[in-house]
Structure 1
């Protein structure tokens, strides 16, 4: 990801949308600290004039679902443009893998949108003193980068009502049965990034990982220029997604089924790959009826919201083929979608360079992405 990790942004209104008790059943109340899941609200530069309220985009951060928070790898270009168009920007935390799973993240997403629909407007009125500052609950879309793109797909699958529009920037898991997810790696697969030594990560590997504390925020830190490996991740969690991919086990930690990847590899090696067909019933026989609900490629229906996918063709962390596969599935069922192909670009291309340089290179594409969202929010 980007070496900066965070961009300078306006101060948001920070709210708690959910609290999770981590105390064991039967233990004294308060024996373990509760976990607060936060939501940052960035009001648009021009609040709504009427009672309907302003449209809103809910954004999910990247980090392989294992690291980061609502301010990490922040897309300043997206916030700026939406704000200028009169659209509120909300950025939310969610529980991170190990010990949590994708099922917990789906629950967080559902609780987040329940909070937005039931509680956010009264809370905003009290926090700002401005009764005009309210969300139009009929004009909410979602956006995300990398693993945040996967979160937007989970929104499309599990929310009712559906988001009005979806933006995924180099989104993860548009197709989860490829070599990137399933095959153990013995050589570096990301340019200039070495493999991770698993011996230093015992606490993050199953079954020890089940004893890790539940978290929804993990700081993003990189080694300074004085370090032998400047610019590389400086915490274990920042290397964790790479390790899970390296071991061919990311899906195990995502689903909570720690035999899944091995079963899928065995199926691939048998020469029969029925799971590649978008048939949830067949896939569920191997993946499991519960876990199949975490796989976007088996959750695409005609009710999926209008979708814009943006992806670089040289992405070594999340292959371009994942967004291409999802776009093809959406087209097959008649869902409005576009795929913006960013030729020759790596993962996180929009935040790997200073903002001014990104604007020069990608400004028109940024405009196009925001226009896609705004048009559908205002329909």
Structure 2
């Protein structure tokens, strides 16, 4: 039986961006006796770019606990989900969040507390890796560090995204017959909580359909036929084949020496987001002289959880240690500011 949704600690919910009448929200969690100019860690949830919520099943209690212990502000942010909006809108949301944190958010904090905008780290898990990476490329102020867990968008030009593939273990949890209704619905969604007791909403069926058909990039960027066009050429030629208006959505094309120090945690048996995404991004940063670490978990699956003992699942062997090192990496980046 699926577990109940997480009981979240005490927090405050804010609207950080309103666009076309739609409110995009974040939650913030202050550490005990918050006072002074505090660092922050932002959490971006997964969900295949189409589903999920800042309050959903993937809520990283371990990351929240770390912030409580280190006297950091913890921020869980939603973002507009693909269809009818696109990954380009998620870039705008990432930029908007950092604008908000630098300005209006400071006036909302307790009188003795401020956010140190030179020490904000971003974390992204699965599809949340897109928003984390988007912040590192486009946001101002720039994040001080990034940690991704099995994060997407390290390399969206891989064959994995340009061609159809067999269903993953997650695919069986959705109803593909619902696709026509989902596509016909043009309601903007940025907070997609599943029904009580559910792992995810059926919006995730969009992602599954796109993966099966090789149209993931089409769906995420709102451009039918994009994946098929890219798949006609070799990997090395794909960047040149991109339409100019969509290039900003391929974040790897805009990584430079000013990119924040970054640490990547990824399982080597991930069938949903290949570990090649983290490997390629890591190598790209190394070549630019940016501090980076790649923490591969041998045999680790997508999500780095072990379901063999039922619910609640245990962390996949090696993942706890990898995340612990990832948190140390963030601390080192904060100390270097």
TM-score by length of 2: 0.90
Q: Secondary structure at the residue paired with 2:259?
A: coil
Matches within 5 A, 1:364-379: 364-379=321-336
Tell me the equivalent position of 1:40. Answer: 27
SS in 2 for 1:134: strand
Give the number of equivalent residue pairs. Answer: 333
- Asked if 2 retains the 8 angstrom alpha-carbon contact of 1:95 and 1:108, the reply is yes
Shift of 1:323: 0.8
Question: What RMSD over aligned residues (CA atoms) do the two structures have, in Å?
Answer: 2.6
Alpha-carbon separation, structure 2, partners of 1:192 and 1:155: 28
Q: Which one of the candidate residues 293, 317, 337 is aligned to 2:272?
A: 317
Residue 265 (str. 1) matches residue 231 (str. 2): yes
The match for 1:280 is: none
SS in 2 for 1:371: helix
In terms of fraction of residues, the more strand-rich structure is 2
Q: 1:5, CA displacement in angstroms?
A: 7.6
1:95-138, Cα deviation, whole Å (9 max, x unpaired): 1100001111111111111111011011123xxxxx12221122
Q: Structure 1 residue 221: deviation in Å?
A: 4.2
* Structure 1 residue 357, shift from structure 2 partner: 4.1
Distance (whole Å) between structure 2 residues aligned to residue 261 and residue 357 of structure 1? 36
TM-score, length-scaled by structure 1: 0.80
Query: Is the alpha carbon distance of 1:257 and 1:160 closer, same or farther for their aligned partners in structure 2, counting shifts above 3 Å?
Result: same
Separation (CA, whole Å) in 1 of partners of 2:190 and 2:208:
19
1:88 equivalent in structure 2: 73
Residue 64 and residue 5 in structure 1: after superposition, are their counterparts in 2 closer, same or farther (change >3 A)?
farther
Instruction: Give, in angstroms, the shift of residue 63 of structure 1.
Output: 0.4
Q: 1:228 maps to what in 2?
A: none
Give the 3-state SS of the residue equivalent to 1:44 in structure 2: coil
1:75: which partner in 2? 60
**Structure 2 equivalent of residue 30 of structure 1:** none
1:178 and 1:247, CA in 2 relative to 1: closer, same or farther beyond 3 A? same
Partner of 1:242: 208
Extract unaligned runs of 5+ from structure 1.
22-33, 126-130, 225-230, 277-282
Change (3 A) 1:221 1:94: same
Per-residue displacement from partner, 1:60-117 (whole Å, max 9, x unpaired)?
1110111111112101111101220111110111111000011111111111111110
Query: Contact between 1:316 and 1:346, CA under 8 Å: does it hold in 2?
Result: yes
Alignment of 1:185-224 (within 5 A): 185=165, 187-188=166-167, 190-191=168-169, 193-194=171-172, 198-205=176-183, 208=184, 211-221=185-195
- Tell me whether 286-295 or 332-341 shows the greater mean CA deviation: 286-295
Distance 1:346 1:5 in 2: 23
Q: CA deviation at 1:6?
A: 4.1
Larger Rg: 1
Aligned-partner Cα distance in 2 for 1:290–1:5: 42
Q: 1:275 aligns with which of 212, 237, 254?
A: 237
Alpha carbons of 1:6 and 1:107: their partners in 2 closer, same or farther (altered >3 Å)? same
CA contact (8 A) 2:55 2:193 kept: no
Aligned residue in 2 for 1:110: 95
What residue number does 2:120 align with? 140
Change (3 A) 1:76 1:354: farther
Per-residue deviation, residues 179-198 of structure 1 (Å, max 9, x unmatched)? 3211123x43x247449775
Shift of 1:351: 8.4
Q: Which residue of 1 aligns with 2:48?
A: 64
Aligned to 2:218: 252
Distance 2:33 2:320 in 1: 22
In structure 1, distance between residues paired with 2:33 and 2:328: 17
Contact persistence 1:203–1:212 (CA under 8 A): no
Counterpart position of 1:294: 249
